[in-house]
Amino acid sequence: MASQENYHERLNSQSQDEIIRALVDLDFHFEHVPDKTKIQDDLHKLIDSDNEEIKRKIINIFKYRSLFIVDKETEWSDLLKLTKSESKDVKEDAIEAIGDVIPYVERIDGKWDNFYQLILDIDTRDSAFRALRKLRPDFKQLLEIPNIWNNLWEIMHKSASEKDKNLRFSVSELIGLLFRYIPDKEQAWKDLLKLSRDADSFVRQMAPQALGWSYKDLPIELKKAALDDIFQLIQMKDWETRWAATIAVGDVFQIKLKLMI
């Protein structure tokens, strides 16, 4: 493993190739670096580099080593700055990394406005949705933020009809993951049914599975009709929907079996 000073010298090298190699090494050994503050200062200066690969390597360190980053506020502001990059790859990497970093910030409600702007922007929404799904163990943190689920649900509902198939795929998965928190569960179920008949085969595979995940959190009065909906999907002509709906039925009856035991 390289020494502290060795990393510092390499990160301040005139050779961009050497900086990239140092960042790759650092990604593997960051937790063992004695003076992490000094190295983080070097990373902070490098985010203004013109080299796209350097920026993506730094994002990777934030993404996988956030637990060991000393100054979480600077890390957060650096990531936000990178979400405004002109490079599509850098921007998407930075947005998705936010989902890995948020669990380590002290006050998620204080950071939510920044993240919410990325969800509002149609150009960054898909990446923001992918970041949001990483928060599954920490969704309860979001409950402390006023009106968050009403606001999120409004955007998710709208996104189910967007032209971008990747966004429709992401919102299918996200509705399933967040279903218990969604205020209008009946409409969320209808959106997933609509997405189960989507023109894109990948969306058709995701949406029925999300129905299976969501079933347990439906109000009791909707469950019989909802089960009929899933059985109807099994009779669809395309194999993607039939396959995913079969998995959904398995999820539903696994839940029922657990309740009986």
- pTM over the 0.95 mark: no
Regarding whether 157 and 138 lie in a shared domain, the answer is no
Rounded to whole angstroms, the Cα distance separating 52 from 45 reads 14
Percent of the chain with pLDDT over 90: 60
pLDDT tens by residue, 34-78: 899 999 999 999 999 999 999 999 999 999 998 899 998 899 999
Per the structure block, which two tokens stand in for 25?
């090494």
Rounded to whole angstroms, the Cα distance separating 29 from 24 reads 9
Rounded to whole angstroms, the Cα distance separating 242 from 248 reads 10
Regarding whether 178 and 133 lie in a shared domain, the answer is no
Last residue of a domain, one of 124, 146, 168: 146
Q: Provide the CATH number for the domain around residue 60.
A: 1.25.10.10
In DSSP notation, 159-194 reads HTT-S-HHHHHHHHHHHHHHGGG-S-HHHHHHHHHH
Residue 257 structural domain: 147-261
Max mean pLDDT among 73-87, 127-141, 142-156 falls in: 73-87
C-beta of residue 152 within 8 angstroms of C-beta of residue 178:
yes
Q: Furthest-apart CA pair in the chain: how many Å?
A: 67
Rounded to whole angstroms, the Cα distance separating 91 from 113 reads 18
